[in-house]
Amino acid sequence: MSCTTLLDTLTLASGDARLILVPEAGGAIAAWRVGGQPMFHESGVTPGPDWNPLAMANFPLVPFSNRIGGGHFRWGGAEYRLPPSGLPDRHAIHGVGWRRAWRVVEAVADRAVLRLDHENDADWPWPFVAEQHFQLTGSGLDIRMTATNGADIAVPLAFGMHPYFDAAGAHLDFAATQVWGSARDGLPLHADTPGPAEDFRGGLAVAATDLDNGYDGWTGLAGIAWEGRRLALSITSDLPCAVVYTPPGAAYFCFEPVPHSNNALNLGDRGQAMPVAAPGETIAARVRFGTRAREAAR
């Protein structure tokens, strides 16, 4: 007989909305439902000791988003090489927060704060303290993210979100000035004006796309509506970029509000640079996921 130890969850409630957090599993969200309707994609996997962050509904991207090519970059005249992140490529990806246990520092009925204290290690060479502030309301979910530089020099430091959404019947709507063409290993090659298959202004059916691309010049507004579902979703953020991942045949897709271009540390001035935090400085970002009746969705 085997016994599986499940990770502790933290449930927030507001009206008919429920948010289930799994602090030990990368500070991730396991589920967000409103009136019983899932607003994020749920894998159905119950987090245990061998939890997989990719099976969560949303996880944080800190201190960087997406890939650093080969895990290699230069900063302040020094060369750094990060180990691969365990995915089937050679790159460091998504930072360290999604693979670390976070702790609860505040929790009430509809609000919680999770914190991660990172010491410099092989996965990221500088210390930082990151927090996720969750506020659940009857009309949506607000996430405020902060990261404070614990190093004695100015370093790159960024925070984004990696939510998953149900792909079936989904239409995604957003605008951005540029889309990055990607190599087979996911690294950006060149930026251009979005073409018809990449331009989501006015909405595109997710099932008709096959993308793993970064977008610069995002307006900070996006919408998702599902055929046959009562509620649609709006996304607002002060982050300047987004990543769209729509694997063909998958039950999910991703629209990720992010702070910089993919592989920004190796792009020079060709893309949206990573934010840089002075010693003791705190960088902050916000993402709001709002719900509304589908008839009112754009």
**DSSP letter, residue 152:** S
The one-letter amino acid code at 70 reads: G
* Predicted pLDDT of residue 95: 97
CA distance 69 to 64: 12
CA atoms within 13 A on the CB side of 222: 29
Q: Residue 286 CB: number of other CB atoms within 10 A?
A: 17
Write the DSSP assignment of 38-77 as a string of letters. Answer: ESS----PPP-TT--GGGSSEEEEBS--SEEGGGEEEETT
pLDDT (tens, 9 = 90+) of the chain, 298 residues, equals 334 567 899 999 999 999 999 999 999 999 999 999 999 999 887 766 677 888 899 999 999 999 999 999 999 999 999 999 776 678 999 999 999 999 999 999 999 999 999 999 999 999 999 999 999 999 999 999 999 999 999 999 999 999 999 999 999 999 999 999 988 888 999 999 999 999 999 999 999 999 999 999 999 999 999 999 999 999 999 999 999 999 999 999 999 999 999 999 999 999 999 999 999 999 999 999 999 997 644 4
Q: How far is CA 280 from the centre of its chain?
A: 24
Domain-wise residue ranges, the chain:
10-43+58-296
Helix (H) or strand (E) holding 13: strand 10-14
Asked whether the bond before 63 is cis by omega within 30 degrees of 0, the reply is yes
Predicted pLDDT of residue 54: 85
The backbone region for 118, taken as left when phi is positive above 0, alpha when psi lies in -120 to 50, beta otherwise, is beta
**Residue 70 near residue 95 (C-beta atoms within 8 A):** no
pTM score, whole prediction: 0.94
Instruction: Give Rg (Cα) of the chain.
Output: 18
CATH of 10-43+58-296, one of 2.160.10.10, 2.70.98.10, 3.40.190.10, 3.40.50.12280: 2.70.98.10
